[in-house]
Structure 1
Amino acid sequence: MTTAKYDVLGIGNAIFDILVQTDDAFLANQGMAKGAMQLIDETRAASIYSAMGPATQVSGGSAANTIVGVAAFGASAVYVGKVKDDQVGRLYSHDIRTANVTFTTPAATDGPATGCSYILITPDGERTMNTYLGAAQNLRPDDIDAEQVAASSITYLEGYLWDPAEAKNAFVKASEIAHGAKRTVALTLSDSFCVGRYRDEFLSLMRKNTIDLIFANEAELLSLYQSSDVDAALTQLRNDIGFAVVTRSEKGCVVVTKDKVTAVPAFPINKLVDTTGAGDLFAAGFLFGLVRGTSHEDAGRLGALAAAEVIQHVGARPQTSLKDLAQKHGLPV
């Protein structure tokens, strides 16, 4: 296996995030299920935007948030996602590149506008997402740069990408290229509703070794196995894949292998402000630990540190150098 040029390559839905702080009454008036991610059309997107208050706007999407986090640790990161050559698409491209992320996916010249996600943050820090996929859903196998994938230690895929058929094909192509180059392929399950739509397909990806590492939170894990018992679901998970990480909010995470389950505590925080990106940034820290050759426990601590940083302010981007933060806490970088 040749030395990797890049540490982590992420593939996902390129979504421009529009974040606003609101209350439960707004969610109820809009008919939104608190804490869920709902796919919407362009008309619904315009309706939500007109009803919202002042917003923060930044390039996002689950895998993009993770890749920006990887770069904030000082690792080399690449992102693959589809935007349109429109004003929002150009803002997206510029914004993610300024985060030291390589982004070379060709922008679409026709078709739907660049995707946007309207993220409503309630006072308890919970986020409710309404996502217009737009151009993001038109990611195709031709958008996968085989040389970039083969040159990346880890290829990281988001479960949301499993919605559009062509993006699904791009996902599988990337996995095949990565494995052909003897690289690691990771998948985040993204959302319990996403798991509900594609449970059997996700299980098949795990059992057929299309992916090597799963990231999930407890709700996604329970949805995957249609269970109410976390321990029973973890046992099934260990039978289906050799390596997984399950996040448990304030309880930290568990790293699951065939041999053992390792619990890693959460980092303490001063105040929970916004959970947007918590899982994404946890994955960033964990993946960074893996490519730096740390123990699974230290990788979990790096993930917990990154998640703790991002939930104490609005938005899914770290507001400090995660590398400096890790060094401050004596973690390997």
Structure 2
Amino acid sequence: MADLKYDVAGIGNALVDVIANADDKFLTANGIEKGGMTLIDAERADELYGKMAASIEMSGGSCANTIAGLASLGGKGAFFGKVRGDQLGEVFIHDIKSLGVAFPASQATDGAPTGRCLIIVTPDAQRSMSTFLGAAQKLGPDDIDPETIKAAAVTYMEGYLWDEPGAKEAFLKAAKIAHEAGRLVSLTLSDSFCVDRFRDEFRRLATDEVDLLFANEAEILSLYETEVFDEALQQVRKDCKFAALTRSEQGSVIVADGEVHVVDAEPVSKVVDTTGAGDLFAAGFLYGLTRGKDPVTCGRLGALAAAEVISHYGPRPQVSLAELAKQKGLA
């Protein structure tokens, strides 16, 4: 068995986020689904970009944000994602490596450019995403380095990847390697619209492949086709050994070996942008888990990281999460 070198090895879409403010009228006029993620093509990406107000551009992608948050807490991470060898690709690789995160996947030398996510933030701090995956779609099983997976305590994947057959193969390959090495496998459902498309497959993953499931309330309700949270909670207790379910200002509910723990949300003076809230919750939770913390402390670390990221624009922390955790007595 390989020695542990990483806390988490993440597999996800390598994207550059483009974030701008707009009102609900802009969403309606441009056919953007509020609060969700819609896949778009290159032509649509260019069209929307031309209509957006002044924007902030930064490296993103759901799983990559989680690994960035883990690094801010002092954890060790690796990330598998595909970028093109273009300007945005170079920016992404520079940003992820500057955090001390390993990036084993190779750059694409032809085909679509590096992907980007166009994010509209409305006055209620909700984010609506239009995503051009670009080169991220080319991630496949050959991009997964077995030794990196074996050397990580947890292999973590974003549900957004399930749109691409090659990415599915990559995750199943990584999950098999991780379990054979005695490691944990984790999945975040990512988006209720994503769950709607792949519900049956996600249910099978939850019962057969995944040790730790992350979901927000809308996602877990969609997964189990119910409008009652407690019904979904009881079902996930049967399907998963561990589950972390976030409920915005109501905090989170953690399932661990059949027991249920309720964790309060961390207070926030003002919610500016909810982009990355779930990603950073996962970062805090995974950091606590890989440090042997109890479920409630893991949830509190997740809440702390999520609270920091929603207090400003962008999906990655702007201050040291390790320092915040120390101040809260969670380090």
Match of 2:150 in 1: 150
Residue type of the partner of 1:201?
E
Identify unmatched segments of 5+ residues in structure 2.
none
CA distance in 2, matches of 1:56, 1:97: 20
Match of 1:275 in 2: 274
Residue type of the partner of 2:57?
Q
CA RMSD of aligned residues (A): 0.8
Deviation at 1:20, TM superposition (A): 0.7
Deviation at 1:111, TM superposition (A): 1.0
Q: Which secondary structure does the structure 1 equivalent of 2:270 belong to?
A: coil
Match of 2:293 in 1: 294
Contact 2:277–2:310 (CA<8 Å) still a contact in 1? yes
Deviations 1:253-309 (A, max 9, x none): 000134311000000010000000000000000000000111100000000000000
Residue type of the partner of 1:322?
L
Contact 1:239–1:258 (CA<8 Å) still a contact in 2? no
1:232 equivalenced with 2:217 (yes/no): no
Deviation at 1:3, TM superposition (A): 3.6
CA distance in 1, matches of 2:207, 2:76: 30
Match of 1:61 in 2: 61
Deviation at 1:2, TM superposition (A): 4.8
CA distance in 2, matches of 1:172, 1:46: 33
Contact 1:9–1:152 (CA<8 Å) still a contact in 2? yes
Deviation at 1:243, TM superposition (A): 1.0
Match of 2:78 in 1: 78
Contact 2:68–2:316 (CA<8 Å) still a contact in 1? yes
Alignment of structure 1 residues 204-215 onto 2, 5 Å: 204-208=204-208, 210-215=209-214
Q: Which secondary structure does the structure 2 equivalent of 1:133 belong to?
A: strand
CA distance in 1, matches of 2:3, 2:299: 25
Contact 1:71–1:99 (CA<8 Å) still a contact in 2? yes
Residue type of the partner of 1:176?
K
Deviations 1:3-62 (A, max 9, x none): 411111110011111111111111111111110100000000000000011111111110
Contact 2:256–2:295 (CA<8 Å) still a contact in 1? no
Give TM-score scaled by structure 1 length: 0.98
1:7 equivalenced with 2:11 (yes/no): no
CA distance in 2, matches of 1:159, 1:166: 13
Contact 2:212–2:240 (CA<8 Å) still a contact in 1? yes
Identify unmatched segments of 5+ residues in structure 1.
none
Match of 2:115 in 1: 115
Match of 1:90 in 2: 90
Identity fraction in percent: 55
Alignment of structure 1 residues 1-333 onto 2, 5 Å: 2-208=2-208, 210-331=209-330, 333=331
Of stretches 274-283 and 259-268 in structure 1, the one that deviates more from structure 2 is: 259-268
Q: Which secondary structure does the structure 1 equivalent of 2:215 belong to?
A: strand
CA distance in 2, matches of 1:276, 1:205: 26
Contact 2:252–2:265 (CA<8 Å) still a contact in 1? yes
Give TM-score scaled by structure 2 length: 0.99
Q: Which secondary structure does the structure 2 equivalent of 1:103 belong to?
A: coil
